[in-house]
Structure 1
Amino acid sequence: MQQSSQGNTGLWILTTLLQRFLRSESKAGIILMLCTVMSLSLANSGIGESYTHFWHIKIAGMSLEHFINDALMAIFFLLVGLEIERQIYVGELRQLKAALLPIFAAIGGMCVPALIHYGFNAGTPYQSGFGIPMATDIAFALGVLLLLGDKVPVTLKIFLVALAIIDDLGAIIVIAIFYSKGIAWAYLSVALAIFIGLAILNRLQVNRLSPYLLGGAVAWYCMLHSGIHATITGVILAFLIPFRDGGEQSPSYILEHKLTGVVAFIILPLFALANTAIVIPNTWADQLLTTHSLGIMLGLILGKPIGIFLFSYLAIRLGWSSLPTAMTWRHVWGVGLLAGIGFTMSMFITVLAFDSAALIISAKIAIMLSSLVAAIVGVTWLLCVGRSPSPMEQKVNV
């Protein structure tokens, strides 16, 4: 009886956190849209020069834009890591068969866009941008999806959350492997020593957050100078913070609960403002026809739904997973379309992939247009599909 009670409590905690996560991400998506429009308008107005210069003000030797991208985004990645950890222990990724569908979908949604971009740009100066169309913006995508309310099944929203979280993990791995610079082993060694020390604290049942956060801050500084992108610290730290039973008193729950609003309503809006403070050149339309921009746009708009659909079909066809309740293949295609909203992570990878300001601006324009198209087409598709499967689909046994 006691075990059942604990199980119900754990389920309630997971449901509460998921609902809070969905609410915050949907609101954050709307705020991101508003921040993007405002930032682009200001950058291309009469005060555009002053506005863009503002984001290059130096803070502790870093421009404000770099501080947001390297420091504040580490907190974003910390929250992502905490959510991945929760999903692995008590969420959608806990049971292998249930987890395989979003895992396969995410892999397809990363590989196919990357291959499309690489196919267009192999051997050119744009080749390093292959990681740009691999990413899905969970805040934007969820914000758009939740605007549909009960017109789509709840399982579709949960599937998108799981897929986007795995997608984020994939993007983190890509950043660590392909977008890190030459390694400074002294700094990296100190960071690794700190991580080992925090892991020992976890094993010793130390539950106070302060040692982990302090150690994480020092590790972030070392990673910043190690050549490996400093934001990776956030994900590693998330898995070192004690999860325990995942209850309301666990350090992981407490930190996730506190960070959700901070990330959704402060960090991500600041990221959107700083990274869309771009002066749109008169030649922007011509730049969309370059292989650089085409690789990004086709990767996000076509590569994402094709990859997600095909790899999901493969997982189910092999008998490794099954479609969630009330979801149909048309819903899977709709999620694939919405996954083409790349914004935050795509912008982030763009800054890592290129040094040229012109390339960064053209990539950001391609990302914004692709995300807009993906949102419009995805919403329209899902509105046409509706909530319930057709009689024919109910009879199909894949």
Structure 2
Amino acid sequence: MAIRPRLAGKAHARAHQSIAARAFLDRVAPFFAGSEISGGPMLIATIVALVCTSTSLVPGWERFWDTQLRLEFGHARVHQSLAEWIDQALLPLFFIIIGTDVKRELVKGELSEWRTAAFPLFGSIGGMVVPVALFFAIGGGGAGAAGWGAVVTSDTAFGLALMAMFAGSLPAGVRALLLAFAAIDDLGGLLVIAFAYSHGFDPTGLAVAGGAFAAMLALRRLRWVSSLPYVLLAMLVWAGIFESGVHATIAGVVVGLVAPVAPRLDEERFAARVQDRVDRFQRAYRERQAVADDPQAEETAQHRVEKHLGYLDEMTSATDVTGERLVGLLNPWVSYLVLPLFVMSNVRIHLSGELIAESLGSTLALGVAAGLALGKPLGFLTFSALGTRLGLAALPERVTWGMIVAVGALAGIGFTLSLFVAGLAFGEGALREEASLAVLCASALAGTAGYFLLRWQARKQE
């Protein structure tokens, strides 16, 4: 959840010699070097994108991301811009992580009891309904009305990165709530994208994706171990959803929910199965040493040694959790490549005094900013409190309402999907820039509030 133990120990040793190093370890390092999705690279990518779009330093910046890439196979051909390929082909990797993490929390984590699982569900409903209602109340009329989807989703990456800074002081249930809320929230946003902002629909593609998903579930039931069939079927799920006209990020969530979150072999069964094999390996190893002077006999004994080692290796692999291994494999790629590329290709804001002045008087910008920074926390808190009051939801153990207020503040960070929806809703032009600027301002405000509220709660715990 925070910086890796070995890296933390190394940095901690250096911190004894430098106050600055100690401050970096405690506050900044998790934002870049955490085992979770890291928000630091996204922040740097945002700054780079704003500089490149708002100055003449990189004149061909936006034209580069709009470069058309074509794929042809026989009579079938697909052509999209580089930015669209990043959205459709790379961003689903991020949602594989989200889907897997949420499944883990629901199956064996802090949300495994139905009333604690219902808490973020109630909060997510409020976190989608109230911001949209507030958006339409402020800027519902005119051409800007199409931007209502920008206030539906929260940004998981930045929220988790800020949470990681205080991981050692806050109970695990706080992170689980934020993760579950953001995942349900993102799923709601993906459904909004699928049905409100996707153009055209091909049921054949969804049928192909559904068949591939069913095949993955069947392999799981058969306890199939090899990863190759799952990878091929996951690609087929993505291709089917992509072809259907529904945004392909849905495929990431679907694939993530298939990933196992429990080992095939628990520790007790592992100990029972390998003890006899370890004894046999030791006997075979001693036999090989005893016949070292006879090359033919030594080769035969070596085969027996290798056979026992292979068995032990497979049994050890069976104690690994596939979902955790998948998340660990994807995290660095998503943190340092996928999300920064997404941000750089989707931030299209030409900062200027004119844009800021227009945004201040724009009902679209005010509606987006209020929906995220105010509507998200308000909806999350009121609906989760309502669910608790009705006895249908409960806080996880050791989680306080003060911590819930901090999570509610983090819910106002819209960023990733909000910028994406703004692009889908308005294409290129002034309305997209106004909505995107409002998303950035609201996210900065919510992130700052969330940071100080988390810091306050962490100090209370300490």
What TM-score results when the alignment is normalised by the length of structure 2?
0.73
For the pair 1:89 / 2:112, whether they are aligned, the reply is no
Q: 1:22 to 1:305 in 2, by over 3 A?
A: farther
Q: Note the C-alpha offset of 1:301.
A: 0.9
Q: Paired residue for 1:41, among 46, 51, 54?
A: 51
For the pair 1:313 / 2:331, whether they are aligned, the reply is no
Q: Structure 1 residues 372-381 or 96-105, which shifts more?
A: 372-381
Maintained 8 Å contact 2:92/2:252? yes
Match of 2:408 in 1: 336
Q: Paired residue for 1:359, among 421, 427, 431?
A: 431
Match of 2:219 in 1: 201
Match of 1:226 in 2: 244
Report Cα offsets for 1:159-218 as digits up to 9, x if no partner. Answer: 323322232233233333333322123333333332233333232222322212212223
Secondary structure (helix, strand or coil) at the match of 2:442 reads: helix
Secondary structure (helix, strand or coil) at the match of 2:112 reads: coil
Q: Note the C-alpha offset of 1:22.
A: 9.8
Q: Residue type of the partner of 2:136?
A: Y
Q: Paired residue for 1:348, among 420, 433, 458?
A: 420
Measure, in 1, the Cα distance between the counterparts of 2:206 and 2:134: 34
Q: Note the C-alpha offset of 1:88.
A: 2.1
Report Cα offsets for 1:264-294 as digits up to 9, x if no partner. Answer: 2211111112122532354222124322111
Measure, in 1, the Cα distance between the counterparts of 2:100 and 2:421: 21
Report Cα offsets for 1:227-286 as digits up to 9, x if no partner. Answer: 111221122222334555477534333322211222122111111121225323542221
1:43-192 mapped onto 2 (5 Å cutoff)? 43-60=53-70, 61-148=79-166, 154-192=172-210
Q: 1:193 to 1:301 in 2, by over 3 A?
A: same
Match of 1:299 in 2: 371
Maintained 8 Å contact 2:174/2:403? yes
Q: 1:356 to 1:121 in 2, by over 3 A?
A: farther
Maintained 8 Å contact 2:54/2:352? no
Larger radius of gyration: 2
Measure, in 1, the Cα distance between the counterparts of 2:219 and 2:457: 51
Secondary structure (helix, strand or coil) at the match of 1:49 reads: coil
Q: Structure 1 residues 227-236 or 269-278, which shifts more?
A: 269-278
What is the RMSD computed on CA atoms of the aligned residues?
2.7
Maintained 8 Å contact 2:261/2:324? yes
Measure, in 2, the Cα distance between the counterparts of 1:99 and 1:358: 41
Measure, in 2, the Cα distance between the counterparts of 1:93 and 1:153: 13
Measure, in 1, the Cα distance between the counterparts of 2:214 and 2:396: 39
Report Cα offsets for 1:299-352 as digits up to 9, x if no partner. Answer: 111101111111121122122333344443333222211211111121122223
Q: 1:86 to 1:20 in 2, by over 3 A?
A: farther
1:276-287 mapped onto 2 (5 Å cutoff)? 276-285=347-356, 286-287=358-359
Q: Structure 1 residues 172-181 or 285-294, which shifts more?
A: 172-181
Q: Residue type of the partner of 1:340?
A: G
Match of 2:336 in 1: 265
Maintained 8 Å contact 2:403/2:454? yes
For the pair 1:376 / 2:448, whether they are aligned, the reply is yes
Q: Residue type of the partner of 1:371?
A: S
Measure, in 1, the Cα distance between the counterparts of 2:235 and 2:167: 39
Secondary structure (helix, strand or coil) at the match of 2:248 reads: coil
Measure, in 2, the Cα distance between the counterparts of 1:364 and 1:146: 26
Secondary structure (helix, strand or coil) at the match of 1:136 reads: coil
Match of 1:29 in 2: 39
Q: Residue type of the partner of 1:166?
A: I
Measure, in 2, the Cα distance between the counterparts of 1:69 and 1:140: 18
Secondary structure (helix, strand or coil) at the match of 1:126 reads: helix
What TM-score results when the alignment is normalised by the length of structure 1?
0.84
Secondary structure (helix, strand or coil) at the match of 1:249 reads: coil
Maintained 8 Å contact 2:32/2:39? no
- Tell me, which stretches of 5 or more residues in structure 1 are unaligned? 1-18, 390-398
Maintained 8 Å contact 1:350/1:364? yes
Maintained 8 Å contact 1:114/1:133? yes
Q: 1:363 to 1:48 in 2, by over 3 A?
A: farther
Measure, in 1, the Cα distance between the counterparts of 2:174 and 2:260: 30
Identity %: 34
